[in-house]
Structure 1
Amino acid sequence: MFDFNTLRRDWLANPRADILAGIVVALALIPEAIGFSIIAGVDPRVGLYASVAIAIVISFTGGRTGMISAATAAVAVLVVPLVRDHGVEYLFAATILMGIIQIIAGLLRLDLLMQFVSRSVITGFVNALAILIFMAQLPQLIGMGWETYAMVLAGLAIIYGFPRLTKAVPSPLVAILLLSAISIALVLPVNTVGDMGKLPQGLPSFVWPDVPLTLETLGIILPYALTMAAVGLLESMLTAQIVDDMTETDSNKRRECQGQGIANMASALVGGMGGCAMIGQSVINITSGGRGRLSTFVSGAFLLFLLAVLGPYVGQVPMPALVAVMIMVSIGTFSWNSIPNLRRHPWTSSAVMLTTVVVVVATHDLAQGVLAGVLLSGIFFAGKVQRMFAVQRNASADGQAVTYTVSGQIFFASVDRFARAFEAEEAAQKVLIDMTAAHFWDISAVAALDKVVARLRRGGSEVDTIGYNRASADIIDRFALHDKTGFEIGAVPH
């Protein structure tokens, strides 16, 4: 059903700022899309058409307004063997399957897995990405003439200084236009966008992958499609969370999953590669004033206009101007507070953040870094909860009756300590285990209780357990072998 309020909020809340921000993003997308095409081993038009299609489609289907999606390095590096061994047509087929998988992931609510990504991992992801963005500019800086360095410094001066005069026009756009005019007028010996690769001419056309529809084809493309879908969703969900934080607004992550899938399918059908959300371009968009879906749409539509109509002029845009913009993005993306927080935050949080940064920068693989951070977070969390556990023993005057008061969390990481707490008990005729302050989480905890009760009874002790909460009683009644709770609200001995 048409909702004018939603249309106004998502598309028409600030059209001037969204349009100008989208233009800046479109210009910044060109060299990156060409670079990602080179990484994947395909023609530059594959990356450029992908960026056009994904940006335009995701502006309608995505769940995070103001976020930019296009062809990305994270996906490009995954398809190198596929393109090399089977050709670009198989890349298109794998991208369609990637989109289908992402739509299914959205239907299955796999976006909820983001709940297991800690703030330390997100901070590490952001810092690593900022470092990678800066490192990606080094080939345009190393071994160049003084003109390049002068233009980069001038670009940064404009980007940070122009807002002091006015914020009516995004300063990165002013920097690109002004430095382009100077470079062309003075014929400066600097690299240009055209040096990155040949820009396509004309509009993209509908393309159906020229591959046999067989199980053999499915066997070839499925592993790549699964990996592309997973990496694309991971980067998109993390980027959406970062944009949420930057704008202090929420987003529909489930819709974003499905929107990414639809956008990738559209990309493949116009001869494009797969892609996902881009933190760098999203930061450019947000810092340039873009907030709505219109900014994302304009980034794709204006990129198409540039390629179809202004290709020769776009090829003359100096790379130092775009390098200056990306350095600004790198500086703005990095979480500078995380440096002093290394001392203020718990050492475990700092270790997770640094591990994520090191793995991402070392492998250039965002997925591996995030996975390492999540796993380390899980290990630290399990260790912390495992220590939140105690067993207190109180014996009667004659030593024939003993009460054990258990408190804390009983799960796979604490079951050894739980079992050891009862090992020395041999003489008592009656043993009472009070679980009022304890919680049983898994079958490992139930198995440990089984062993304790069975061993004490074999030793001749009469064993009773009391005080289970409802959740603990449920799991014990389902899985215990020796001891059922007969649960009622309150302490129930048996």
Structure 2
Amino acid sequence: MTLQSLRTVWFSNTRNDLLAGLVVALALIPEAIAFSIIAGVDPKVGLYASFSIATIIAFAGGRPGMISAATGAMALVMASLVKNHGLDYLLAATVLAGVLQVLAGWARLGSLMRFVSRSVVTGFVNALAILIFLAQLPELINVTWHVYAMTAAGLVIIYGLPYLTKVVPSPLVTIVVLTAVAIALGLDIRTVGDMGALPDSLPSFLVPNVPWTLETLAIVLPYSATLMVVGLLESLMTATIVDDMTDTRSNKNRECVGQGVANIATGFIGGMAGCAMIGQSVINVKSGGRGRLSTLTAGVVLLILVVFLGDWVARIPMAALVAVMIMVSISTFNWASFRNLRAHPKSSSVVMLATVAVTVYTHDLAQGVLTGVLLSGFFFAHKIGQILLIQVSADDVQERRTYSIYGQVFFASADRFVEAFDVDTPPKQVRIDLTHAHFWDITAVSALDKVVFKLRRKGVDVEVLGLNEASATLVDKFGVHDKQVADDMLKGH
């Protein structure tokens, strides 16, 4: 990396990156504690993980300005492993998940993101916005009026301060001001310290205390594979969203490797597996963060806050962080997507709504995105399958009929291809002109074989012509109608 590119990636936005990283660090603390509770481990496991992953991904990741740390999606996967086998197996699963993610990056699986349609990405964003908002509701139920007043005041500051000045990120001002108010007035409201004890020491290197046997591998591998898929899926989707927000591009394959390296290191310092976080990434971008320095700042400041300034951090009211996360959910949601439901093609709208519905219902991002991708593939195949034109011309003198095929022949259009041929009252000769057609799979080749065999059984002389090179290669390899002709000629000879 040249000095100029180093300066661009790390120090072209220094002040904003530092301030944005500070905001993200404060927002990460309650999230990391909450995710630790979900996974059934001590809060320091999530906090150490968030520090480690954010710090390492700042150097190794492929998307500058994106925040990675301990996440709820990963915590849900790990909960049963911790319950049945304990923390050390979780750490081993984290390391193995990281290894699998590195291998996925080397195999260039990040390139598969090009098969995820815009409708799926929009549905993913909307579902996450809804889940982020729903996650704040427990902090707003069965509480005193002070909590509502503090939350409302936080939203006023967040949305009102930018009209006065943008020198300091409004979420940071919100957290500082509301914390000062809560301390000054002695308000008896829920704080960060009420969520769990903060660590009082730096993380140290450790090797998971598990038997290094095939039996251990059999226990850990299913969880690690799931963590790998969920982590990469959420990270790559988040990278795509940040790409759009910043109008820049990212290296998805490098991001896969970076996530893997971060998780490997995290497992060896007593942290749980993590991945990119859409909420914190949006906070970072909205607060002005763009470069790798913002991600590094978030990780380093997080550790400093919880280890050395834990007594102060513990006094931050949850209402302040709830206000920030409500802002994130509102900013994340793609409001135009609902206004465009009637204007956009029905298939795109169905894909978007299905992705939202499945993700929100299951609280599983992987299931929601998989549903959207499968529906997108189905609608695409159906649409392309309809683009098949077959023209028939007859020469009654020579008793010959020519079928000219235009379009794509594959599994979704193979039946239409077969049905276009009159095999009940055929002429003596049939020409199948494939000059303007393309065969994509063995289903298409099988359809051609079926037509040719049906006509030959009627005594028809069939000629297939015009195959392009790719289609001809497929037909030569998997087709059988020409091979049968050759066999018949050998037998007749």
Q: Structure 2 length normalisation: TM-score?
A: 0.97
User: Are residue 302 (structure 1) and residue 304 (structure 2) matched?
Assistant: no
Show the counterpart of 2:336. 337
Secondary structure of the structure 1 residue equivalent to 2:31: helix
Within a 5 Å distance, the mapping from 1:99-248 to structure 2 comes to 99-248=98-247
Tell me the C-alpha RMSD between the 2 structures: 1.0
- Partner Cα separation in structure 2 for residue 169 and residue 292 of structure 1: 17
Show the counterpart of 2:391. 392
Show the counterpart of 1:455. 454
The residue type equivalent to 2:64 in the other structure is: T
Q: Is the 8 A contact 2:198 2:307 kept in 1?
A: no
- Partner Cα separation in structure 2 for residue 428 and residue 476 of structure 1: 25
> CA-to-partner distance for each residue in 1:255-295, whole Å, 9 max, x for gaps?
10000001011111111000000000000000000000000
Show the counterpart of 2:54. 55
- Partner Cα separation in structure 1 for residue 98 and residue 3 of structure 2: 29
User: Are residue 270 (structure 1) and residue 269 (structure 2) matched?
Assistant: yes
Within a 5 Å distance, the mapping from 1:255-334 to structure 2 comes to 255-334=254-333
Secondary structure of the structure 2 residue equivalent to 1:337: helix
Within a 5 Å distance, the mapping from 1:370-385 to structure 2 comes to 370-385=369-384
Which range moves more in the overlay, 427-436 or 116-125?
Answer: 427-436
CA shift, 1:244, in A, is 0.4
The residue type equivalent to 1:86 in the other structure is: H
The residue type equivalent to 1:165 in the other structure is: L
Q: Measured at CA, do residues 454 and 193 of structure 1 come closer, stay the same or move farther in structure 2, by a change above 3 Å?
A: same
> CA-to-partner distance for each residue in 1:371-390, whole Å, 9 max, x for gaps?
00000111111110111112
Q: Is the 8 A contact 2:423 2:455 kept in 1?
A: no
Secondary structure of the structure 2 residue equivalent to 1:450: helix
Within a 5 Å distance, the mapping from 1:420-439 to structure 2 comes to 420-439=419-438
Q: Is the 8 A contact 1:92 1:268 kept in 2?
A: yes
CA shift, 1:398, in A, is 4.4
User: Are residue 68 (structure 1) and residue 71 (structure 2) matched?
Assistant: no
- Partner Cα separation in structure 1 for residue 312 and residue 123 of structure 2: 39
CA shift, 1:191, in A, is 0.8
The residue type equivalent to 2:335 in the other structure is: W
- Partner Cα separation in structure 2 for residue 406 and residue 426 of structure 1: 20
Q: Is the 8 A contact 1:426 1:456 kept in 2?
A: no
The residue type equivalent to 1:29 in the other structure is: L
Show the counterpart of 1:487. none
Secondary structure of the structure 2 residue equivalent to 1:177: helix
- Partner Cα separation in structure 1 for residue 333 and residue 175 of structure 2: 23
CA shift, 1:406, in A, is 1.1
Q: Is the 8 A contact 2:139 2:318 kept in 1?
A: yes
CA shift, 1:423, in A, is 4.0
CA shift, 1:7, in A, is 1.3
Secondary structure of the structure 2 residue equivalent to 1:403: strand
Secondary structure of the structure 2 residue equivalent to 1:249: coil
The residue type equivalent to 1:334 in the other structure is: F
CA shift, 1:466, in A, is 1.8
Secondary structure of the structure 1 residue equivalent to 2:426: coil
The residue type equivalent to 2:235 in the other structure is: S
Q: Is the 8 A contact 2:426 2:455 kept in 1?
A: no
Secondary structure of the structure 1 residue equivalent to 2:335: coil
- Partner Cα separation in structure 2 for residue 454 and residue 86 of structure 1: 60
- Partner Cα separation in structure 2 for residue 65 and residue 242 of structure 1: 12
The residue type equivalent to 2:345 in the other structure is: P
The residue type equivalent to 1:474 in the other structure is: T
- Partner Cα separation in structure 2 for residue 198 and residue 425 of structure 1: 81
CA shift, 1:189, in A, is 2.0
CA shift, 1:47, in A, is 0.4
> CA-to-partner distance for each residue in 1:433-454, whole Å, 9 max, x for gaps?
1112211000110111011112
Q: Is the 8 A contact 1:453 1:483 kept in 2?
A: no
The residue type equivalent to 1:337 in the other structure is: A
User: Are residue 412 (structure 1) and residue 406 (structure 2) matched?
Assistant: no
Show the counterpart of 1:93. 92
Q: Is the 8 A contact 2:124 2:368 kept in 1?
A: yes
Q: Is the 8 A contact 1:206 1:269 kept in 2?
A: yes
The residue type equivalent to 1:382 in the other structure is: A
> CA-to-partner distance for each residue in 1:4-44, whole Å, 9 max, x for gaps?
12210111101110000000000000000000000000000
CA shift, 1:426, in A, is 2.9
Show the counterpart of 1:23. 22
Q: Is the 8 A contact 1:69 1:277 kept in 2?
A: yes
- Partner Cα separation in structure 2 for residue 347 and residue 424 of structure 1: 37
CA shift, 1:399, in A, is 7.5
- Partner Cα separation in structure 2 for residue 382 and residue 483 of structure 1: 29
- Partner Cα separation in structure 2 for residue 384 and residue 399 of structure 1: 38
CA shift, 1:427, in A, is 3.4
Q: Is the 8 A contact 2:355 2:369 kept in 1?
A: yes
User: Are residue 252 (structure 1) and residue 274 (structure 2) matched?
Assistant: no
- Partner Cα separation in structure 1 for residue 227 and residue 4 of structure 2: 35
Q: How many residues align?
A: 483
Percent identity, aligned pairs only, is 62
Secondary structure of the structure 2 residue equivalent to 1:351: helix
- Partner Cα separation in structure 2 for residue 427 and residue 128 of structure 1: 56
Q: Is the 8 A contact 1:55 1:297 kept in 2?
A: yes
> CA-to-partner distance for each residue in 1:232-252, whole Å, 9 max, x for gaps?
000000000000000000011
Secondary structure of the structure 2 residue equivalent to 1:16: helix
- Partner Cα separation in structure 2 for residue 70 and residue 92 of structure 1: 15
Secondary structure of the structure 1 residue equivalent to 2:482: coil
CA shift, 1:303, in A, is 0.4
The residue type equivalent to 1:479 in the other structure is: F
Secondary structure of the structure 2 residue equivalent to 1:344: coil
Q: Is the 8 A contact 1:399 1:428 kept in 2?
A: no
- Partner Cα separation in structure 1 for residue 398 and residue 280 of structure 2: 72
CA shift, 1:425, in A, is 4.7
Show the counterpart of 2:490. none
Which range moves more in the overlay, 392-401 or 139-148?
Answer: 392-401
The residue type equivalent to 1:316 in the other structure is: R
Q: Is the 8 A contact 1:151 1:179 kept in 2?
A: yes
The residue type equivalent to 1:24 in the other structure is: V
The residue type equivalent to 1:112 in the other structure is: S
